[in-house]
Amino acid sequence: MTLHITLVKIEETKISSDKAKKFIASEKNGAECIFVGKVRNENAGKKVTGVTYDAHDQAVIKSFQSICNNAKDKFDKNAKIFLEHVKGYAPVGEISILIAVGSGHRDEAFKICRYILEEVKHGSPIWKKEHYTDGKEEWLPGHSLRPKKEIKL
Amino acid sequence: MEIELRLYGSSKILSDKDALKIELPNNSNIEQLREILSKIISKKHSKSNLKNLSKTAAFFSDKNEVVNDNYRLKDKESISIIPPIGGG
């Protein structure tokens, strides 16, 4: 198996970098690239306590499969890819997304990792609601999946 | 007719539940759903940051694919509203 994708319900379990490293391990790998995205304590001058991630589960899995398969087609058909993203409330410091790639060479490993991250941000139906130290909360703006030419504000 | 609008992301401000029942004239399409949604937002949620949601949102059919504004809705159909996304 060369592809692992999961939407992790954070009340049930957490994203594990050890699990990711084990999954991509192979003697064929000349490079292993791991990206870990975390919830940080500040955004746009506001002090953040945590982020609630909402997701359209089925569409997220479908998009993850498509993104990872495109990455393999584009950069390295033999790459091993591990992709997990959380759903639910994640406090500051928690891993929100982990992408691990095992490939024959460093260039492909870096490119696949970056490609997957950007595509997930722009194509996977996931939303973030930030929670602040003053008790307020806010859904963050994002990228519309409606064709740009149709949007007339 | 009535449809079920399944709520995600910022659209969850529209209801305490996961979905909203919306009354529409028979044979309505997504464009008409956008108009009704815009009215609901201006009436009940004008102070929220949902002002542009009816224009910026996409809609998923039960096949989890974006449908265009000409897509005809059926009575009792369940459709998902997809506000602008941004995970990671």
Per-residue confidence (pLDDT) for residue B75, from 0 to 100: 96
Per-residue confidence (pLDDT) for residue A131, from 0 to 100: 98
Q: A131 by DSSP, 3-state: which? A: strand
- A45 contacts A129 by C-beta, under 8 angstroms: no
Per-residue confidence (pLDDT) for residue B33, from 0 to 100: 97
Phi-psi region of A88 (alpha: psi -120 to 50; beta: other; left: phi over 0): left
Give me the mean pLDDT over the B33-55 stretch.
89
Domain-wise residue ranges, chain A: 3-88+96-139
* Nearest-angstrom CA–CA distance, B57 and B84: 6
The size of chain A, in residues, is 153
* Nearest-angstrom CA–CA distance, B21 and A117: 35
Domain-wise residue ranges, chain B: 2-82
Q: By the CB < 8 Å criterion, does A145 face chain B?
A: yes
Residue B58: is it exposed, middle or buried by C-beta count within 10 angstroms (0-12/13-18/19+)?
A: buried
Taking CB atoms and an 8 Å cutoff, what residues of chain A touch B64?
56, 58-59, 62
Q: By the CB < 8 Å criterion, does A137 face chain B?
A: no
Per-residue confidence (pLDDT) for residue B46, from 0 to 100: 75
Q: Which CATH superfamily is domain A3-88+96-139 in?
A: Molybdopterin biosynthesis MoaE subunit (3.90.1170.40)
Per-residue confidence (pLDDT) for residue B51, from 0 to 100: 87
Alpha helix stretches (DSSP H) within chain B: 30-44, 53-56
Q: What CATH class does B2-82 carry? A: alpha beta
- B26 contacts B1 by C-beta, under 8 angstroms: yes
Higher-scoring residue by pLDDT: A149, A39: A39
* Nearest-angstrom CA–CA distance, A67 and A56: 16
CB contact (8 A) between residue A146 and residue B58:
yes
- B3 contacts B73 by C-beta, under 8 angstroms: yes
- How confident is the model over B27-36, as pLDDT tens digits? 999 999 999 9
Q: What is chain A's mean pLDDT, rounded? A: 97
